[in-house]
Amino acid sequence: MFKGSNVALITPFKNNELDVDAYLKLIHFHLENGTNGLVPAGTTGESPTLNHKEHEKVIEICINEAKGKIPVIAGTGSNSTEEAVSLTKHAEKAGADGALVVTPYYNKPTQDGLYQHYKKINDNTNIPIIIYNIPSRCVIDMSVDTMARLFELKNIVGVKDATGDLNRLDQTIKKLGSEFIQLTGEDGLAFKFNQRGGVGIISVTANIAPKMCSDMQKYSKSDSQSEIKEAEKIDQMLQPLHKSLFIESNPAPTKYAAKLLGLCSDEIRLPLVNIKKETEEEVEKALSSIKLLK
């Protein structure tokens, strides 16, 4: 169910409020351009600065508008286990196809603490759960052994791996097998990740270039050598855009790119701020290089 190009949706704002019209426009932009799955209320969706009501609304709107056409994987993670349980329960009730649950940040739990955190969520819900392992933001790194323990539970189905370490992918496949869903969280490694056994991505760049990202994903898993070469070609074309979207903290550059494409404003919530002029120029240059900006 969870494979290919899944977009980590940005959350558009207008006067510091959720811009519902722009959000609906974004969802349809993805439905029309081959995106394989929608991931609302993740880090790229500025979940740390959404209040609970907004968090739930963002997820509900996405599910209702997608109408089952493509899967919705709701961001429901928190460093509070009880809050993560509550958010995951809400996503399940709202009709999400899965939940993306980030490792608890700031608390720095042990590996057993990580296990118990996810087990508590697993035991209180009946929805597929994808672990989000991103040591650069959360300080902690879930081990392959801990993932193997979690995979024995009924709802734990896979991982969004944002370690940036392709060897981790090899180790996880070796220990957990191919049934454990492996999605990368690193746009720049998407092609290589799939070539080594991954099945897709939860992507930031897909906010801006959904068709190219979905085509790259599709072709990268093809049995045709010509299509694999096409995937590699698209991947190389996208590399400057990947880089430009992470010059400053995500999703500020992505929102600027979305503004240039007429998708939504670049309004972002503190403590994040709008990008610098030199970053704007790099984003514009990257968009022009793949003919998204004329």
Cα 181 to Cα 8, 151, 189, 282, distances in angstroms: 17, 10, 17, 34
Told to judge if 132 belongs to the known catalytic residues of this protein, a careful annotator would answer yes
| 102: β partners | 132
Helix (H) or strand (E) holding 37: strand 37-39
Active site residue 219: no
Parallel, antiparallel, or unpaired for β 200-203 and 4-8? parallel
Q: Would you call 49 helix, strand, or coil by DSSP?
A: helix
The backbone torsions φ and ψ at residue 99, rounded to the nearest 5 degrees and listed phi first, read -130, 135
Of 198, 60, 181, residue with least CA distance to 129: 181
The catalytic residue among 118, 132, 219, 256 is 132
Residue 38: what are its φ and ψ, rounded to 5°? -110, 135
Amino acid residing at 129: I
Cβ atoms within 10 Å of 245's Cβ, excluding its own = 28
State the catalytic residue, choosing from 23, 57, 115, 160: 160
Radius of gyration of the chain from its Cα atoms, rounded to whole angstroms: 18
How far apart are alpha carbons 228 and 251 in whole angstroms?
A: 30
Which residues are identified as catalytic? 132, 160
